Structure 1
Amino acid sequence: MISIIGLGYVGFTQLVGFALKGYDVVGIEKEQRVVSSIRDGRCTICDESLTKAFGTVQVRATSNCEEALDTDVTFICVGTPSRVDGAIDLTQIEDAVGQLGRLLRRKQSYHLVVIRSTVQPGTTENVVIPLLERSSGRSVGDQIGVCVVPEFLREGSLLEDFLNPDRIIVGENDTNAGDMVCGFCSDFKCPIVRTSYRTAEMIKYAGNAFLATKISFINEIGNICKRLGVDAYDVARSIGFDSRIGAKYLEAGIGFGGSCLPKDMRALIAQAADLGYDATLLRSVVEVNRSQPLCLVEILESRVGTLEGKRVAVLGLAFKAGTDDVRDSQAIPAIGRLLESGAHVSAYDPQAVANMRRIIGDDLVCYAGSAAEALEGADACLILTDWDEFKEMDEQFGGMKRRVILEGRKVLKDSIQREGICW
């Protein structure tokens, strides 16, 4: 039997995914709102395939951590948000591990603890294991097993990524714990890499740092292409045929956001600094990404003049299509710069309005119920998220006062006259 502590994007996906595979699984979450929603049959994550699958399985959710005592393995899936200095905040990890350890004092049989949360290299050895041993009074490697199994889930395809991973990384310090994890993974058709704790932790950061670098690279190329009158998408498509490069993550645009890449880049840069190393390349990747939404607003100003008093429609608030997540969304700095410039902003997103309202309130932005409503009377439009419903838009632009359309992501059909940030 499996227990999962933390039912955010990672934990809830595991809850549903393991249930689909026939495991008896219980989810443990301290937020009663989340527990109540799951018990009432409501999916707590905005993800189409996950929502459909959730309706077909039987899962349990509770706020009582004691239920972990009756399970064989506990997956720790709590959040590790950024601190002010860029390093990760381990408060939720420490709370979960400490609470679980105190429960395990009462358990006589072996228990496996799997860290799925993203933690900086060295965290499992230096924080998790000492805390688990102190709180449980038991020894890791003998009565308790600990493994690090980083997740590589993408919002918008969470369940697909869980069920069909490219690889599974198992960080271990004893064979029994590693063998037990591999038993859970035996029916996954992908390579399983068994390594040390620290290496497993670093693999997650290295993978995300590479993806972020690839995105900022093609955006840098796109910015140069725009000034040369070259189509950045033709360039990206052509270099993507090179098997050494590959086509994925080569779409020039407004940059990356979300709960993983920005946070992990900050953490890796901060840890490098703590080790006395200046991660110059990684800092440049972050700087390019920071500048992209501001560059889009600058292009807008060059097309319409001063933004003071002008109405600008912003379509797309989520950091990507297929989710309601606005964490580190590039829409936030873009809207911020528009407001600083005196523009009146009307915004629309099919899923993310409620979440954006918590960050930028109704006193600053007018949130619309449709794209057409946001566009009515607008002097300009910025498209920041590649939602499917935006791809077929045409007549909705008819309500604009002045038809100036700029894309942060290439979304609209070719028949629509518009301009892109990198093309």
Structure 2
Amino acid sequence: MEIAVIGTGYVGLVTGVCFALLGHRIICIDRDVDKIDELAAGRITIYEPGLEEELQRQQEERRLFFTTSMTAVSCADIVILAVGTPQKADGESDLTDLEAAVRSMAIYLSGHTYIMTKSTVPVGTNEQIEKWIKATTNEAFDVVSVPEFMREGSALSDTLKPERVIIGARNAHASEAIAALHRPLTEQVVETDYRTAEMIKYASNAFLATKISFINEMANICDKVGADVVTVAQGMGMDRRIGSSFLEAGIGYGGSCFPKDTHALLQIAGDVDYDFKLLKAVIEVNKDQRRHIRKVLLQELESLSGKFIAVWGASFKPNTDDVRHSPVLDIVRHLLKEGASVRMSDPAAELNFRRSLDHPLISWHTDPLEAAQGADAVCLLTDWPQFLSIDLHKLKAVMTTPILFDGRNAIKQEQLVDTGIRYVGIGRPGMRGIK
């Protein structure tokens, strides 16, 4: 098929590359000239393992192309909408760019076209997309909602081997056509209406965020009663009704999806006069968890003023350079406010972090041990493999005060034996102070 993808952000780029890999001819469209020039030259503008190599392979096979011109839509059997829907100050999704893209795209529709919405949108948006298109063209079309569930760091495998595909459509013909497009990927297809498909996306992310906030609350209780939250989570996860995923206690969730989608769902509930008490608590717990490290460091060091704190990690999770809503941003702001100097290290996210937060008391270091040189404490905030493999004997040797705060509970007890490092995890009181 001829497929046009509008938007070359994370979702659009990965989606385009993966459908090209399946043999379709893909044209990716974006108004950002510099980005399109980079992609056309085979260089990706995000960090995602394996994506650049696959993009170049599909370009060589003449199945993947990039342009700034919306006229490419005229040849498409399917148009995929992957335009960003950022969060407004009130938590509502901003559909300004999506509406502009839809109205611009509709001018060039030719013959019957399927419009596939991958952007995360509030309930009722696909109906609004229909109205925007009908106001612009008389060409035949069907709008189909297909929310994405890819995870940064494993986006290729998530797209090519999805656990399920959700399809929301107004009629059976459109639903079946898009289901057939996805059947080479999975037989786990749920066909439903627009509003249910839109809600599945928000419900899924809100539930996963709830699991994270729940286990973080359990970790804080474990600290007080002397239990180990890692083992608690392991025991919980063995129950198939609960499952082990998203039960890792830490400094809270971040990224482009969970914070935005939880706030958007809260706004959706508010629009219909429903008080979503549980989701409000999930969001509040996540905010509090980011402040937990400040309390711990003050307990250990008494004051942060004039102290050197090494921070390992800037992205919200490993294998991505994404710092959107990264807990590290808030934590570093807290440290700076307390008068600390921050020495940072991250394999991929330095540039994006500096765009969001740059400060004369922040220095950057390629080598994590160099960042820890003379530090009064090291804070492991993103569990990149490069950090977890560091010899802790060497770490202790370069630090002024050998305190390691593990914000991801990623360090194993055997790594700490005979190191002389004071270890502080989250909900792991039994490991506190191991020598």
TM-score, structure 2 as length reference? 0.93
State the distance in 1 between where 2:315 and 2:200 align.
27
Contact 2:227 2:427 in 1 (8 A): no
State the distance in 2 between where 1:165 and 1:186 align.
10
TM-aligned CA deviation for residue 251 of structure 1: 0.8
Residue type of the alignment partner of 1:65? M
State the distance in 2 between where 1:190 and 1:292 align.
39
Residue type of the alignment partner of 1:232? V
Structure 1 residue 8 corresponds to structure 2 residue 9: yes
Residue of structure 1 equivalent to 2:400: 401
Structure 1 residue 26 corresponds to structure 2 residue 27: yes
TM-aligned CA deviation for residue 293 of structure 1: 1.6
| Offset from partner CA, 1:219-247 (integer Å, 9 cap, x none) | 11011001111110000001110111011
Secondary structure in 1 matching 2:184: coil
Moved more, 326-335 or 273-282: 273-282
Any unmatched runs of 5+ in structure 1?
none
Show the 5 A alignment for 1:18-417: 18-58=19-59, 59-104=64-109, 107=110, 109-125=111-127, 127-138=128-139, 143-394=140-391, 395-414=394-413, 415-416=415-416, 417=421
Residue type of the alignment partner of 1:289? N
Percent of aligned positions that are identical = 40
Q: 1:98 to 1:349 in 2, by over 3 A?
A: same
State the distance in 2 between where 1:40 and 1:287 align.
44
Any unmatched runs of 5+ in structure 2?
429-435
Residue type of the alignment partner of 1:158? A
Moved more, 356-365 or 262-271: 356-365
Contact 1:375 1:397 in 2 (8 A): no
Residue of structure 2 equivalent to 1:419: 424
TM-aligned CA deviation for residue 360 of structure 1: 0.9
Secondary structure in 1 matching 2:85: coil
Contact 1:5 1:28 in 2 (8 A): yes
- Equivalent residue pairs, number: 415
TM-score, structure 1 as length reference? 0.96
| Offset from partner CA, 1:258-288 (integer Å, 9 cap, x none) | 0000000000111111211111100100111
TM-aligned CA deviation for residue 328 of structure 1: 0.3
TM-aligned CA deviation for residue 124 of structure 1: 1.3
Contact 1:368 1:374 in 2 (8 A): yes
TM-aligned CA deviation for residue 398 of structure 1: 2.2
TM-aligned CA deviation for residue 364 of structure 1: 4.2
Q: CA RMSD in A?
A: 1.1
State the distance in 2 between where 1:362 and 1:51 align.
32
| Offset from partner CA, 1:51-72 (integer Å, 9 cap, x none) | 3322321210011111111111
State the distance in 2 between where 1:346 and 1:92 align.
37
State the distance in 1 between where 2:321 and 2:361 align.
20
